[in-house]
Amino acid sequence: MHRKEGVLRPVRGNRIVAILAAGGLTLAAAACGEAPKESTPGSSTSAAAAYKACMVTDTGGIDDKSFNASAWAGIQAAQKEATNVDPKYVASSSEADYEPGLRNYVSQGCNFILAVGGLMGTATTKVAKESSKSQFAIVDSGSESPNVYPMQFATQQAAFLAGYLAAGYSKTGKVGTYGGLKIPPVTIFMDGFADGVAHYNTAKGKNVQVLGWDKKAQNGSFAENFGDQNKGKSITQTLVSQGADVIMPVAGGTGLGTAAVAKDSAGKVAVIWVDQDGCTSAAQYCDVFLSTVIKNIEEAVKEAVVKGAKGETLSATPGYVGDLSNNGVSIAEFHSFDSKVDATLKSELEKLKADIIAGTVKVESASAPK
């Protein structure tokens, strides 16, 4: 996808789709508590010159249409820029696979060991402290270990724009959201979304309701899974029955169940996707994606790997924080909805983005990077 002008367009790093990024790879199923089997794509670099960039996925798998796929796309993009990069990954089938996967890569002498997802924070810190000479990195988590490079995202900023968009687009006056798990990398989206709707209500004198999340109580609907499409369908059907016509699932592959419900709704339900532009990562559902809250994991990972491959130091403090100002987060173009989104609403979103960057509009979340 070529980059288009305008602040609501996706950044260039998100154009690699998860399926293509992982094409031809065999997903590794890991036995609980054992070092999982890995999948290693071919590399033309010599062993002596190779910079081994090794990734341990979260449980959603390499083809989750979300953060695992984005991180892997980043490593592959790094290989194109720094040809000595030798990429490999291992898929975790459960949380018990995190530590064995990380330790296995330490024993293999990997130069860069990437953990994907906030759930891996504890395991990564533990293994990193045991392996002080190894360079680790983690997506969606901070770390107190000096040899762990954290990559975090102020996702609440882009989700705020998505909430405002959802409220302005809704015909029923009700919008919804739900998460995969109740963890900070998920609830940060939901906080921003709810605040964006509230901002719309204040600006317009409206009363659009948010179903599925109560920011003040920090409580809402969760699938307890990142890969259960049937659960996603069930939650979505409940939200739709309550009147929601725009829904933002923050649930990885589980959210494909939401897209399926929207597809069957004959245009009555629209979806706001997250992480990768939905029209790229799940193109079969492009006609139901109003927009996407993009978290540019791909670019952040690519830059970290390229720096490491060139011998540059990856500083654990402050690490990397992606926000609207550096295109670390954004909202995607509207694709087939472009003509359906009012021109005034588009202009208001542009102005809101500028105001958030300038600090005149504050977007806060208890789950925001510290």
pLDDT digits (tens, 9 = 90+) for 178-206: 999 999 999 999 999 999 999 999 999 99
Q: Determine which of 18-22, 87-91, 233-237, 336-340 has the lowest per-residue pLDDT on average.
A: 18-22
Residue 285 in contact with residue 143, Cβ under 8 Å? Answer: no
Q: Look at residue 208 and tell me whether its pLDDT is greater than 50.
A: yes
Question: In the prediction, which pLDDT does 65 show?
Answer: 81
Average pLDDT in the chain: 89
pLDDT digits (tens, 9 = 90+) for 75-125: 999 999 999 999 999 999 999 999 999 999 999 999 999 999 999 999 999
Q: Give the pLDDT mean for 280-302.
A: 96
Question: In the prediction, which pLDDT does 25 show?
Answer: 35
What secondary structure does DSSP assign to 129-185, as a single string? HH-TTS-EEEES---S-TTEEEEEE-HHHHHHHHHHHHHHH-SSSEEEEEESSSSHH
Q: Give the pLDDT mean for 53-71.
A: 90
| Ordered domains of the chain (ranges, CATH) | 12-151+298-323 (3.40.50.2300), 155-296+326-358 (3.40.50.2300)
pLDDT digits (tens, 9 = 90+) for 23-47: 433 333 333 334 444 555 444 444 4
The pTM of the full predicted model, rounded to 2 decimals, is 0.83
Contacts of 89 (CB under 8 A, 6+ apart): 25, 38, 39, 40, 54, 55, 56, 57, 62, 72, 75
Which tokens sit at 221?
């609907």
Burial of 37 per CB tally in 10 Å (0-12, 13-18, 19+): middle
